[in-house]
Structure 1
């Protein structure tokens, strides 16, 4: 509980794993909590200098296999006892925090969205193409990108992940989770057609009355 409370109060979380013990289920659970909290993250593998080459390869493979959802985070291999690699910690923390608190312009976000759609269109839903119109920033730490369009409630998870990856690469949002929120925008012309039609009919009737008088 104290760990979770500290996580909520932190700007950047250091997830320290013991290279000699490997990655446990508890480590994976804790990593999941970090992602859910939206906190920026640096993964630290400690006691690295005491491992042989094959053991290091095993840990790297285990990291990719058990914690694939942390692919956005920088991974540092250190030895706290001997100070190896510790000097890179603050640089990694600073980079993660800057990414998590970055200001993103609406025009830039919308441009990246348009480029992503050109590369890979959203799927059809009941014969209609999902339309994503524009994007703007909805929050920081973590970055929240709000996308407006129609049928947005039907955007599949695979396409959401595709968009997250495009935004992450475009704005170098490494070291932080990125969240996307979809909003269905009302058609601004909805109802105007009927009003216009009624005005046209009224104008036509006035003109007809004027012609009859002549």
Structure 2
């Protein structure tokens, strides 16, 4: 059975990571969360005084890039891939709203994108990989055999994200989450370097009213068709 590369792009909180993880498990493929890599760089910047509500030292972050080492490692308890920043498991630390507030500006920096795209492309050399993000089908894997673009209404995405944060014990309001998503949508879609857009040949899926199981069944069938050589 031939192996393919699957690229899943889309707006924040459209369930990209959820369906990508499920799809990778169903196919026995490697899953790579590219968004976690940008979040880890953002966390590094926050922890080292490079970025805060008071300002953002872009040049200092660029200079620090050689000191930022990322890797994915399977967690023994959850059996899920966690991201490590300089040897430390930061999977939980990168998921809060504070990191979300700053990750889009960090992702606009050319040098950051170049470093992470190179790492992502290296991860996909042997195919049999599912990767999700903002520019996977347009920049990282423009020749991927299957490209998917996830979409949903801002209100539905904010509701999902709000419930997720509440379950983690975050003290946050729905209005704050919606504002954060709308701001990230604008930054991601208008940045000069690799803006978020639907890749050529990508299949768009609007999951505003779609359950997780139905979403997986749809994407899994698309993947099976491409693996079998059917368009």
TM-score in terms of structure 2 length:
0.26
Q: Which has the larger radius of gyration?
A: 1
Task: Work out which structure has the larger RCO, using CA pairs closer than 8 Å and 6 or more positions apart in sequence.
Answer: 2
TM-score in terms of structure 1 length:
0.28
